[in-house]
Chains A and B, each alone.
Chain A
Amino acid sequence: MSDMRRRGPQYTGRFASWLSLIGRLVAGQIFIFAGLNKVVDPQGVADAINGFGLINNDTLITVAAYVMPWTEILAGVLLVAGLFSRAAATIIILLLAAFVGAILNAIDQGKVLDCGCFGDLKLFCTGQLGNCNVVQNGILAAFALLPLVIGGGRASADALLQSDDSGFEGPEIEEEAFD
Chain B
Amino acid sequence: MIRSYLIKLVGIVVVASAAGVTHMLLGPQIKLHPNDPEVQTIDLGAPDAAPASADPAEDPTTDQPTDAEAGSDPVPAGDGTLVLDSLEISLEQAKALYDNGLADFIDARPAAEYAKGHIYGSWNVPPSAFDRSTPTVVDLIDPDRIVVVYCTGGDCHDSHIVIREIQEIRPELTKLHVFTDGYPGWAGAGYETDIGADPFAETGG
Q: Which residues of A contact B (CB under 8 A)?
A: 39, 42-43, 46-47, 50-51, 53, 58, 61-63, 65-71, 73-75, 78, 84, 86-88, 90-91, 109, 111-112, 114, 120, 127-128, 176-179
Q: B27 touching A66 by the CB < 8 A rule?
A: yes
Contact (A74, B15) CB under 8 Å given A63-B21, A179-B5: yes
Q: Indicate which residue in A42, A74, A179 contacts B27 across the interface (CB closer than 8 Å).
A: A42
Q: How far is the CA of A69 from the CA of B131 in the complex (A)?
A: 19
Is A71 in contact with B157, judged by CB distance below 8 angstroms?
A: no
B110–A128 CB distance below 8 A: yes
A87 and B21 contact, CB distance less than 8 A: no
Given A43-B28, A71-B20, A178-B2, is A112 in contact with B113 using a C-beta cutoff of 8 Å? yes
CA separation between A73 and B152, bound complex, in Å?
A: 33
Number of chain B residues close to chain A: CB under 8 A: 38
Q: Among A61, A111, A176, A178, point to the contact of B32 (Cβ < 8 A).
A: A61
Asked if residues A68 and B20 are in contact (CB atoms below 8 Å), the reply is yes
Q: Which one, A46, A53, A84, A177, contacts B1 given CB within 8 A?
A: A177
- A128 x B157 contact (CB < 8 A): no
What is the bound-complex CA distance between A120 and B23, given in angstroms? 20
Task: Given A67-B16, A70-B20, A74-B15, verify A46-B30 contact (CB < 8 Å).
Answer: yes
Q: Out of A70, A78, A84, A90, name the residue touching B23 (CB < 8 Å).
A: A70
**Are A112's CB and B110's CB within 8 A?**
yes
Q: Judging by beta carbons under 8 Å apart, are A47 and B157 in contact?
A: yes
A sample of 18 more A-B contacts (CB under 8 A), given A70-B23, A84-B11, A120-B128, is A42-B28, A43-B31, A58-B32, A63-B20, A63-B21, A66-B20, A66-B21, A67-B16, A71-B16, A74-B12, A84-B12, A111-B154, A112-B109, A114-B127, A177-B1, A178-B1, A179-B1, A179-B5
- Interface pairs (6), CB distance under 8 Å: A63-B24, A84-B12, A87-B11, A111-B152, A112-B110, A179-B4
B19 in contact (CB, < 8 A): yes
Whether A51 contacts B12 by the Cβ 8 Å rule is no
B170 within 8 A of A: no
Bound-complex Cα distance A63 to B24 (A): 7
Tell me, in angstroms, the Cα distance from A75 to B151 when the chains sit together.
Answer: 36
Residues of B within 8 A of A65 (CB): 30
* Contact between chains at A53 and B155 (CB < 8 Å): yes
Give the chain A neighbours of B15 by CB distance below 8 A: 74
Residues of A close to B127: CB separation below 8 A: 47, 114
8 Å CB contact of A88 from B12, B113, B152, B154: B12
B8 touches A114 (CB 8 A): no
Give the shortest distance, in Å, between B1 (CB) and chain A (any CB): 5
In angstroms, Cα B161 to Cα A42, docked, is: 14
Given A39-B23, A61-B32, A87–B110 Cβ distance below 8 Å? no
Q: Are A47 and B161 in touch, CB under 8 angstroms?
A: yes
Residues from chain B with a CB closer than 8 A to the CB of A71 are 12-13, 16-17, 20
A69 to B152, alpha carbons, bound, how many Å?
Answer: 28
Contact of B157 with A51 in the complex, beta carbons under 8 Å: yes
Find the A residue at minimum CB distance from B25. Answer: A66
Contact of B8 among A46, A73, A84, A177 (CB under 8 A): A84
For the complex, give the distance between the alpha carbons of A127 and B111 in Å.
10
Nearest chain A CB to B92 CB, angstrom units: 24
**CA separation between A152 and B162, bound complex, in Å?**
45
User: Closest residue of chain B to A109, judged by CB?
Assistant: B154
- Does A91 lie within 8 Å of B31, measured CB to CB? no
List the A side residues contacting B5 at CB < 8 Å.
86-87, 178-179
